Every structure is written in structure tokens, then in C-alpha cells.
Structure 1
């Protein structure tokens, strides 16, 4: 029995793919690294950041599983780089809706940044073509809406990413 259990466990491990090897996660991490490399002035690591859910560029109050997941991946990379992030899912006073994510409205960003001493907000929007997803990322200083850094990437769409895009929120 132990041998059968161990064989099942090992076969499950064979299907495991480390995030850094997945092309979408790798692209998200690279985009976060580029944002940090280009930010002027440099962001101190001792003041927190917010990451908003990435939205459809044609409908800025709409996102998808893909938009939420890309934002989570970028947030993970900022955390791995030593930056503190405020987790909006734990806040009761933020525009967080089931299936939609953390959609920050302009008027709320300034209030949130003041109440949490946030130095910057990472925002993103995406557009989809037949073969690509184009993602625009920015680091924005909330007090004056100044863009401190920006980066754009294009991701090839596959069956998985198309399915994640089909899950758009209402």
C-alpha cells in the first residue's frame, strides 16, 4: 500500500510546474521587474504599495479571471522583491466584489493611500486580439496621479488564457 501511495504522490509531483517556468507567470514577473527597474524616483521598500485588479481597457469597470490572475502574479513578484503590499481582499471598505477583484476608482485611490500610507499603486489594463493579450502596467503615485513607471507586454494566447478571459465579470 505504501508503494502505491508513494507512486501516486510522485506522479502528482511530475505534473507540478514551478511558477517561474510558466510563460505567463514568467512574463508577469519580468514585467514587474521592468516596472521596478524604470521607476523614478526609486520606491523605498519600507512604505506599502497597492495592486489593483487589471481591467479591460475598453470597459474599465470590467475584468476577467485573467486580469485578476495577472495582478496577483505581479503582486507576488513585488513581494518577492521585498516590497510590502496592502492586501485589499482583507479590507471591508474597498470596492471588492466577488468575481471582479479590487477595482480602484480614482476617488478611492487617494483616500486609500492616505489611510494606509501607500506610496504607490500598481494598475494595469489589457486588450485582447485574436492571438495576443496586450497588458499595460503602471506605477502611479496616488497623491497627484503621477505615473512613475510604465511597461507594456504582449502575451500569446493559448487555450488556458482564452478560457480565463472568457470569465469576464458582469
Structure 2
């Protein structure tokens, strides 16, 4: 009986061997840290009683283009804001924003005010990234849509490794 329980425990542990907590994954940790910094540095403070929108992060040289990396980073930042207790409006459920197949939620400036008014959104999290041979530079801002005032900004540099390279080059299916 004891040997059976021991074997079961080993099987369960082996099944968990490939799981990695978000806090331990370097890409997720960087996204979470960036969201934490954006919230902490915001002036005025971004309140938790009105919703935010997180738009897909875009290529700084082609603002109408993103990548799997830009979409994943935006999703991770959105997840962190949700974990911190901020209400978020999920853009993928709206039909009237600029969504291009495989590109994500790319907000056009003329639409931001309309969407924010319709959902009483206090701020929009936007981001751009630039790629160099060994780094990805991510620039994030919290912007108040009523007057385009930047409430907070934070920059991070990610290593261009196998994971980030694959996310940059992946094509939607």
C-alpha cells in the first residue's frame, strides 16, 4: 500500500515537472514587473474603481503591425492588472475596434475616445517594441484617453532568445 502511494506521488510530481509558474518565467515576470511599475508610478493614481483597456503592443516602426510577442506581452500585462484588482474591458469581445486577423487589438486614436466613453474607461495601456540583434526594447504607457495625457511610463529590455525570437517570427494560423 505504502509503495503504491509512493509511486502515485512520484507520478504526480513527474507530471508537474514541466509546469512553470508565471512568476518564475522570465518573460511573464518582466511583463508583471512592468505592469506593477506602471501602476506604482502613475500620476495621478489610476483608480481601481473604473476600467482600463490594454491594447496590443505594436512594432514601433510599423504602428499598425504587431506579432505574437506583442499580443502575448499585452495579455500578460492585462493579466497582472486584473490580478491587482483593476477592472479591464476585454477588447476581443468588441466588434467596432480595429482588429486585423492575427494582429490583435490595434486602437486607432479616433476610436479610443469612443470606446472609453462607451465603457467609462479611465485609461488605456499601450506599448511599442523595437528589436535589435540581442534585445527587445518594450515601451509601455498608461494614457488617459480624454486628453491623451500620459499618466505613467515604463521601459524594459528583454533578451532576444529562442522564446522571444519564436514569438516574433510566428505567424497566426
The answer as to 2:27 corresponding to 1:15 is no
Q: Which has the larger radius of gyration?
A: 2
Q: 1:69 aligns with which of 69, 72, 84?
A: 72
Partner Cα distance (1:22, 1:48) in 2: 27
Would you say how many aligned residue pairs link Structure 1 and Structure 2? 169
The answer as to 2:104 corresponding to 1:101 is yes
Q: Displacement of 1:26 after TM fit?
A: 0.5
For 1:130, the equivalent position in structure 2 comes to 133
CA contact (8 A) 1:62 1:168 kept: no
CA contact (8 A) 1:63 1:168 kept: no
Partner Cα distance (1:5, 1:66) in 2: 38
SS at match of 1:19: coil
For 1:118, the equivalent position in structure 2 comes to 121
Q: 1:24 aligns with which of 24, 27, 50?
A: 27
Q: Displacement of 1:12 after TM fit?
A: 2.7
SS at match of 1:21: coil
The answer as to 2:146 corresponding to 1:157 is no
SS at match of 1:152: strand
The answer as to 2:47 corresponding to 1:36 is no
Partner Cα distance (1:8, 1:57) in 2: 47
Partner Cα distance (1:100, 1:11) in 2: 37
Unaligned segments of structure 1, at least 5 residues: none
**Residue pairs, 1:75-86, within 5 angstroms:** 75-86=78-89
Q: TM (normalized to structure 1)?
A: 0.93
- When the two chains are superposed, the root-mean-square deviation of aligned CA atoms in Å is 1.8
Unaligned segments of structure 2, at least 5 residues: 1-5
